[in-house]
Amino acid sequence: MEDPAQMNRRPPEQGDSAVPDPALQTTAGPPPVTDTPAGGRPPDAASPSAAAPQLRRRSATASNMSASSWAACYGAMATVRAVAALSFLLVPVQVAKRVYGAAAEPVDAQHSQMLHLNAGAMLVGAAAAAAVALSGRSGGGLGARNTDLLKLAMAGQGLAVTLCVIYYCRTITRSLLPLELATAALLAALPAADLVTGGRRRGLLDELSSRLCAASRTSPLALALYGLAWLFPLVGLLLAYFPHFAMFHLFGYAYGSSTFLLARVAGVADKSLIPVALLVLKDATESGALRTRAAKVLSAGLMLAGVVHMRVLLPLLAKGRGGWVLPIAASTWVAAFLAATVALLAGLETRGSTTGPAGGGMAGRGGAGDEVVGEKKD
């Protein structure tokens, strides 16, 4: 006679009862519970509906990692520009000898003056890169469209500087020419690659044109920033395309190819990056975003650049040197310094209302990570 346990373990044969032994049910435990929809089968793990939340989580993680990587790149760009600006300011004679060699012999006062002016432009570039990095890390800051405009301006400036370096390749020493060319190309390629891979490059030129054609009616500061955005390209065009003429009417004489290269590079910044930075600050003024960290950094960069330019241009103006370009350039930078100072002071306020309508402009359309603007802080 068979053991009852062995009889229950063997598969049921024809004629056997399909009812399980109650003792086996007790020892085996309850059947597994599955999340089966009413009237349907359990969801397949490989089905699109089951995989969609996981894909969204992976996409969000990859997006955050990508944003952090780009922010680190822009932070490195800001550091490189700031270090170069400091070297131009502290040791201009040594920089002129090292970079231009025989083309800067003998080193003239105009080399130091033009290197100082280029240092001011580099400070604006460093502030723009830092503002983009801060906006990327905080998830908001200046707003996506404003940061994209800064990236476009930095890419255009880098491309123009690269072309200037190629055109004046015989002016730069052979040992430093590859480094100069690689640095300029990298400063152009980084923001350009960010715009292309992010798919946000469309419509930026139309956006820039519409802002240039839209005067401000909200505040005197916004109106001043808008006017400066039109004034800077006028001086920049002279320096970039007519360096000999501009240098003669700015300093009273023109040294040579080494200072012509510096004049073209400074003119490129005056007609590309600086006007865009002013328009971005104008939008921040109108939308109440001057109190974001990115706007403060951008204002501080413009203010420091104004200090550097006034340090060079105002003494020449006081001595009666130079031509008709000098008072225009000097007054433009004095106005830029004052406007940037007012913008920075407005951003440093810890109490009070916004400077513009809440939610207006591009900066008022950031994500959930935007800094709160326009509220009282205890």
Is residue 247 a part of any domain in this protein? Answer: yes
Quote the pLDDT of residue 362: 40
Is residue 377 a part of any domain in this protein? Answer: no
Distance CA 71, CA 368 (A): 18
| Residue 23: closest CA among 46, 4, 48 | 4
| Residue 148: closest CA among 137, 161, 135 | 135
Residue 147: exposed, middle, or buried by beta-carbon count in 10 A (0-12, 13-18, 19+)? buried
Which of 3-17, 134-148, 228-242, 337-351 has the highest average model confidence (pLDDT)? 228-242
Residue-range definition of the domain harbouring residue 242: 68-350
Is residue 33 a part of any domain in this protein? Answer: no
Q: What is the DSSP string of 312-325?
A: HHHHHHHTT-S-TH
The answer to whether the beta carbons of residues 160 and 341 sit under 8 Å apart is: no
Is residue 47 a part of any domain in this protein? Answer: no
**In the predicted model, is pLDDT for residue 174 greater than 80?**
yes
Selected residue with higher pLDDT from 342 and 349: 342
Average pLDDT, the chain: 80
Over range 155-162, report the average pLDDT.
95
Distance of CA 104 to the CA centre of its chain: 34
Dihedral (Cα; 184, 187, 192, 198), 10-degree rounding: 160
| pLDDT confidence band for 201 (50 / 70 / 90) | low
The answer, yes or no, to whether the previous bond of 92 is cis (omega within 30 of 0) is no
**In the predicted model, is pLDDT for residue 262 greater than 50?**
yes
Over range 61-70, report the average pLDDT.
63
- pLDDT tens figures, 267-277: 999 999 999 99
Is residue 302 a part of any domain in this protein? Answer: yes
Dihedral (Cα; 129, 131, 135, 136), 10-degree rounding: 20
| pLDDT confidence band for 348 (50 / 70 / 90) | confident
Is residue 6 a part of any domain in this protein? Answer: no
**In the predicted model, is pLDDT for residue 189 greater than 90?**
yes
**In the predicted model, is pLDDT for residue 153 greater than 60?**
yes
Quote the pLDDT of residue 292: 92
- Lookup: tokens for 53: 């939340």
The residue count for the chain: 378
Distance CA 314, CA 367 (A): 44
- Lookup: tokens for 352: 């009070």
| Residue 265: closest CA among 374, 122, 151 | 122
Number of domains forming the structure of the chain = 1
| pLDDT confidence band for 200 (50 / 70 / 90) | low
Residue 220: exposed, middle, or buried by beta-carbon count in 10 A (0-12, 13-18, 19+)? exposed
Is residue 29 a part of any domain in this protein? Answer: no
Is residue 160 a part of any domain in this protein? Answer: yes
Amino acid at position 253, single letter: Y
Q: Which residue's structure tokens are 């839209």?
A: 214
